[in-house]
């Protein structure tokens, strides 16, 4: 059975980007695009579905964390993110209320951000013990790269001053080796949030399904998960069997020292492992990205506990990163490495170059994630190695002024997440929202990459704006290519899946301010409406 969808179609296809009137779909794939007259003549028995609005390819989130996000953004966790509570007073009031209502249950909160919620106290173990007493309390930083906990939470997680630091992570300790109540980086954070994750498992089918539907409602038809737990694969298969899976999933396993690659060849067009996630450094918001330049000495950096002229360092040496990453690359997996600081990026490119040369790799599509302080020269070097980039341009939206005035100054902070430089170097660059860190609003990412303007109207003093064509491709064709899925999704063209969305305005022609406000009216996966 053929279905012909009619409307104003923007295929965003490398073959033709011309506006079309109709699209024929058979067995979930596009078979033809053209004028309404051409499609009805070619498929006289087709079902005609008239769509009200502009039709474009479904959006792709190339760097997400939907499994973890479904828990952190759920009713099991107190939401204190700056997007929901903008001030310190509101954050502390929410935490006190949660502790008062907890009874004997633990309290987990997500979204602490002293840079945007000015006036927050130092969340050390003494402060959190006073705040929560015998109630276990864990607060996850908005970046996800640190967590703060009280003594009761430490006991619940089985962590104390004798607990060894995990590789690439650490627990804060005082001069007497007593815990200070901070966990830095993924492996340490994971230990203190383990009780929450364990208790959330019984709710995960409901939470994960609801979160995926929310992504689909935002126009996302393919989402990657760069911190995936393969134990969740049966849940995804169950959702698919019940026709309750509204997106395609591309996942990355998390690397660890001494890890070995999973076998290739598993998965299909709906769910499939694409690669392996590694880390080079941390988050700019907590002071542990590896840069060649220091943080500014400001009230904000002093509030973070950073000494004057502080320079962050990487989680791993280049040799350590090489030892972690090479076994996965030798197993033919794409590598995706978190790297913000220019020194971390340079070290990661050094590691990538060694691996590429040793193993004679060509179409590897190794990735750099976030790319905060990446320079134009580094974008060019990455492109010459066949390394691709995914930029967290939404940092500009929320932290643009902070980057310039409080952390790095105009020279380094002003050019943050320089998407224009990435495209100029020849990259098929992509944009992302990094799961729960900022709201999943791809159209706003596109607009911000064009204007380099914050939510308060501040124009970044450095960096290069992108064109509309580049912005659109960052969440469609480029993202599909980055996920080794360009043969399946990313555009509306014959042979590709009919994953598309219906929106309320022309994504090609409207001003960037209007593009950011785009409303998704409907989302289709393989020609069937899911939202």
Tokens of 518: 């785009």
Q: Is the dihedral of CA 432, 437, 440, 446 positive or negative?
A: negative
Q: Is the dihedral of CA 294, 300, 305, 308 positive or negative?
A: positive
Tokens of 460: 């970044």
Q: What is the pLDDT of residue 291?
A: 98
Q: What is the pLDDT of residue 104?
A: 84
- Strand residues in 214-365 grouped as ranges (E): 220-228, 248-254, 271-279, 334-339
Q: Taking the complete model, does pTM exceed 0.85, yes or no?
A: yes
Tokens of 14: 């490398």
Closest by CA position to 388, among listed 373, 405, 374, 409: 374
Element (H, E) at 147: strand 146-149
Cβ burial, residue 323 (10 Å; 0-12/13-18/19+): middle
Tokens of 407: 């952390």
Closest by CA position to 267, among listed 246, 248, 245: 248
Tell me how crowded residue 124 is: count the other CB atoms within 10 A of its CB.
17
CATH code at 71-200? 3.10.310.70
Helix axes 342-359, 318-330, angle to 10 degrees: 40
Tokens of 212: 């995926």
Question: What is the assigned CATH class of domain 1-58+491-531?
Answer: mainly beta
Q: What is the pLDDT of residue 261?
A: 82
Q: What is the pLDDT of residue 130?
A: 97
The structural domains of the chain, with segments of one domain joined by +, span: 1-58+491-531, 71-200
What is the chain's pLDDT, residue by residue, as a tens digit (531 residues)? 999 999 999 999 987 778 999 999 999 999 999 999 999 999 999 999 999 999 999 999 999 999 999 999 999 999 999 999 999 999 999 999 999 999 889 999 999 999 999 999 999 999 999 999 999 999 999 999 999 999 999 999 999 999 999 999 999 999 999 999 999 999 999 999 999 999 999 999 999 999 999 999 999 999 999 999 999 999 999 999 999 999 999 999 999 999 888 888 889 999 999 999 999 999 999 999 999 999 999 999 999 999 999 999 999 999 999 999 999 999 999 999 999 999 999 999 999 999 999 999 999 999 999 999 999 999 999 999 999 999 999 999 999 999 999 999 999 999 999 999 999 999 999 999 999 999 999 999 999 999 999 999 999 999 999 999 999 999 999 999 999 999 999 999 999 999 999 999 999 999 999 999 999 999 999 999 999
Question: What does DSSP assign to residue 79?
Answer: E
Q: Alpha helix locations (H) across 386-510?
A: 394-401, 409-413, 419-424, 442-451, 468-474, 477-482
Query: 């303007």: which residue's tokens?
Result: 453
Q: Alpha helix locations (H) across 50-107?
A: 66-72, 88-102
Answer whether 82's CB lies under 8 Å from 111's CB.
yes
């Amino acid at each position: 059975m053929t279905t012909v969808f009619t409307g104003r179609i923007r295929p965003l296809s490398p073959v033709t980007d011309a506006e079309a009137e109709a699209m024929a779909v058979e067995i979930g794939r596009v078979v033809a695009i053209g004028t309404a007259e051409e499609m009805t003549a070619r498929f006289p028995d087709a079902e005609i579905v008239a769509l009200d609005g502009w039709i474009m390819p479904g959006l792709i989130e190339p760097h997400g964390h939907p499994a973890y996000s479904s828990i952190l953004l759920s009713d099991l966790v107190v939401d204190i993110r700056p997007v929901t509570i903008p001030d310190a007073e509101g954050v502390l009031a929410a935490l006190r209320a949660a502790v008062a209502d907890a009874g004997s249950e633990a309290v987990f909160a997500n979204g602490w951000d002293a840079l945007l919620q000015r006036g927050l106290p130092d969340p050390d173990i003494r402060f959190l013990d006073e705040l929560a007493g015998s109630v276990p309390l864990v607060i996850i930083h908005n970046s996800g790269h640190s967590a703060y906990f009280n003594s009761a939470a430490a006991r619940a997680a089985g962590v104390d001053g004798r607990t060894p630091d995990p590789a690439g992570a650490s627990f804060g300790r005082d001069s007497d080796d007593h815990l200070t109540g901070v966990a830095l980086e993924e492996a340490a954070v994971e230990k203190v949030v383990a009780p929450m994750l364990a208790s959330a498992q019984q709710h995960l089918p409901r939470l994960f399904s609801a979160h995926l539907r929310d992504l689909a409602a935002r126009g996302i038809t393919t989402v990657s998960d760069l911190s995936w737990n393969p134990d969740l694969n049966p849940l995804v298969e169950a959702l698919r069997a019940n026709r309750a899976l509204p997106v395609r999933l591309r996942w990355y396993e998390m690397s660890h020292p001494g890890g070995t690659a999973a076998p290739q060849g598993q998965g299909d067009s709906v769910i499939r492992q694409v690669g392996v996630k590694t880390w080079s450094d941390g988050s700019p918001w907590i002071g542990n990205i590896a840069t060649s330049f220091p943080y500014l000495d400001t009230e904000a950096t002093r509030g973070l506990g950073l000494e004057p002229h502080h320079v962050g360092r990487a989680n791993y040496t280049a040799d350590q990163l090489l030892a972690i990453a090479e076994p996965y690359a030798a197993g033919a997996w794409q590598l995706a490495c978190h790297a913000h600081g220019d020194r971390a990026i340079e070290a990661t490119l050094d590691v990538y170059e060694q691996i590429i040369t040793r193993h004679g790799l060509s179409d590897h599509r190794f990735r750099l994630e976030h790319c905060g302080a990446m320079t134009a020269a580094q974008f060019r070097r990455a492109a010459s190695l066949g390394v691709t980039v995914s930029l967290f341009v939404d940092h500009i939206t929320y932290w643009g002024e902070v980057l310039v005035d409080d952390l790095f100054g105009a020279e380094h902070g002003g050019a943050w997440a320089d998407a224009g430089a990435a495209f100029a170097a020849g990259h098929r660059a992509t944009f992302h929202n990094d799961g729960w860190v900022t709201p999943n609003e791809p159209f706003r990412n596109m607009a911000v990459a064009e204007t380099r303007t914050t939510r308060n109207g501040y124009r970044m003093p450095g960096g290069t704006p992108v064109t509309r064509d580049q912005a659109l491709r960052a969440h469609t064709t480029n993202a599909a290519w980055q996920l080794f899925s360009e043969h399946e999704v990313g555009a509306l063209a014959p042979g590709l899946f009919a994953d598309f969305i219906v929106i309320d305005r022309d994504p090609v022609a409207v001003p960037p301010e209007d593009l950011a406000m785009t409303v998704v009216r409907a989302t289709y996966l393989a020609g069937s409406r899911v939202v």
